[in-house]
């Protein structure tokens, strides 16, 4: 028997409203890749009412991404940004603030991978991976923190990886795994230090997501193998999509996750959990 005192108003929208991002401005790095996670997060945030700054070294890519958001009725600004370069990051943040106002949400999605056995990795390649995946996220955080701390509010979403939790993956290699484990450390330390300022810091740890990143970092052949292997072994029997990750990023940026910080959210079809 249901309790007659409990009355759910079918017009009650506060739950769904908690997932909206109206009036907020989000800076998303790595948003230039055509099938990429950053671009999809931009679309999701714009659909939820945010204005979005789409940043990438790939200028044509972010222009196209911004065009897609605008065509769907959203507000988007393309930003040329090399996340490893402090000057480029602060210049992009300055354009963002001029066009869209203060940064309420930062998503660090810029990242690269390479499939190279550990004994063949040279210092240059090691530094390249760590530079973009770790230093890049750190620099972007540093650039937006003073404003977030002053306003005592902010959301930071990091892209880690299952590779950072399990010592690499079928396609992850040692430098990539190390960089994604470092992202977890940064994310959780930031959660501790920034919580008192009303800023949350959470990460998503995707499994294999069909964006082309694996083909770009090694070969189409390896990407095809990984896709088949994930589809055969993950409990949910398929590779992830950029939308799977964007939905998690929407949750973490929204008021629905107001009391969640320091979380590393597995979005991997069940291929790994802890
Ligand atoms: N796709 C996957 O299977 C997967 C799995 C786990 C984690 N991730 C992580 O998710 C994030 C997004 O991955 P994706 O699959 O969308 O990759 P992607 O290659 O499609 O997109 C990454 C984007 O980062 C940009 N970028 C690279 N270096 C940059 C720099 N110095 N400054 C600014 N932008 C730069 C690239 O130009 C590209 O547009 C990455 O951090 C990746 O490591 C992806």
- Residue 5 within any structural domain of the chain: no
- The pLDDT assigned to 212 comes to 81
Domain that holds residue 135: 21-267
Tell whether pTM > 0.85. Answer: yes
The SS3 call for residue 194 is helix
What residues contact residue 250 under an 8 Å CB cut-off, 6+ apart? 19, 21, 41, 44, 45, 48
- Evaluate whether residue 10 is within a structural domain: no
Residue 49 lies in a domain: yes
- Residue 196 inside a domain? The answer is yes
The whole-number pLDDT of residue 232 equals 83
Of 60, 111, 84, give the one whose Cα is nearest residue 217: 111
Ligand 1 centroid–CA 185 distance in Å is 19
Q: Is residue 16 situated within a structural domain?
A: no
- How many CB atoms within 10 Å of residue 72? 11
CATH assignment at residue 77: 3.40.50.720
- Residues 45-56 have pLDDT tens digits of 999 999 999 999
Evaluate whether residue 3 is within a structural domain.
Answer: no
Q: What is the atom index within ligand 1 of the atom nearest the CA of 133?
A: 41
Cα separation, 180 vs 247, whole angstroms: 20
Average pLDDT over residues 61-78: 97
Question: In Å, what is the CA distance from 202 to each residue of 23, 43, 107, 169, 244?
Answer: 21, 20, 10, 21, 16
Q: Do the Cβ atoms of 114 and 176 come closer than 8 Å?
A: yes
DSSP string for residues in 99-159: HH-S--EEEE---------GGG--HHHHHHHHIIIIIHHHHHHHHHHHHHHHHT-EEEEEE
- Ligand 1 pocket member 164 (CB < 6 A): no
Q: pLDDT tens-digit profile of 222-270?
A: 888 888 888 788 999 999 999 999 999 999 999 999 999 999 999 999 9
Q: How many domains does the chain have?
A: 1
Q: Which of 213, 238, 272 to mutate to test the pocket of ligand 1 (most atoms within 8 A of CB)?
A: 213
How far is CA 123 from its chain centroid? 26
* Selected catalytic residue, list 15, 45, 176, 272: 176
* 211 falls within a domain: yes
97 domain-assigned: yes
Q: What is the mean pLDDT of residues 5-26?
A: 83
């Amino acid at each position: 028997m249901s309790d007659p005192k409990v009355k759910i108003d079918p017009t009650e929208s506060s739950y769904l409203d908690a997932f909206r991002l109206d009036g907020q401005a989000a800076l998303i790095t790595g948003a230039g890749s055509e099938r990429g996670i950053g671009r999809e997060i931009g679309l999701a945030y714009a659909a939820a009412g945010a204005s979005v700054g789409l940043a990438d070294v790939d200028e044509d890519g972010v222009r196209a991404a911004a065009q897609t958001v605008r065509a769907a009725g959203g507000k988007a600004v393309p930003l040329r940004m090399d996340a490893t370069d402090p000057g480029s990051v602060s210049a992009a943040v300055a354009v963002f603030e001029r066009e869209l106002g203060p940064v309420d949400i930062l998503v660090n999605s810029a990242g690269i991978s390479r499939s190279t056995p550990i004994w063949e990795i040279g210092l240059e390649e090691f530094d390249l991976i760590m530079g973009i995946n770790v230093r890049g996220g750190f620099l972007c955080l540093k650039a937006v923190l003073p404003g977030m701390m002053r306003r005592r509010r902010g959301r930071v979403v990091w892209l880690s990886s299952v590779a950072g939790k399990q010592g690499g993956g079928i396609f992850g290699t040692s430098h990539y795994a190390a960089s994604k484990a470092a992202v977890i450390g940064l994310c959780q330390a930031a959660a501790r230090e920034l919580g008192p300022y009303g800023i949350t810091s959470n990460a998503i740890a995707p499994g294999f997501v069909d964006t082309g990143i694996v083909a770009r970092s090694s070969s189409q052949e390896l990407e095809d193998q990984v896709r088949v292997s994930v589809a055969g072994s993950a409990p949910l029997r398929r590779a992830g999509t950029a939308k799977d990750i964007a939905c998690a990023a929407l949750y973490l940026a929204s008021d629905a996750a107001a009391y969640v910080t320091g979380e590393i959210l597995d979005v991997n079809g069940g291929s790994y959990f802890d």
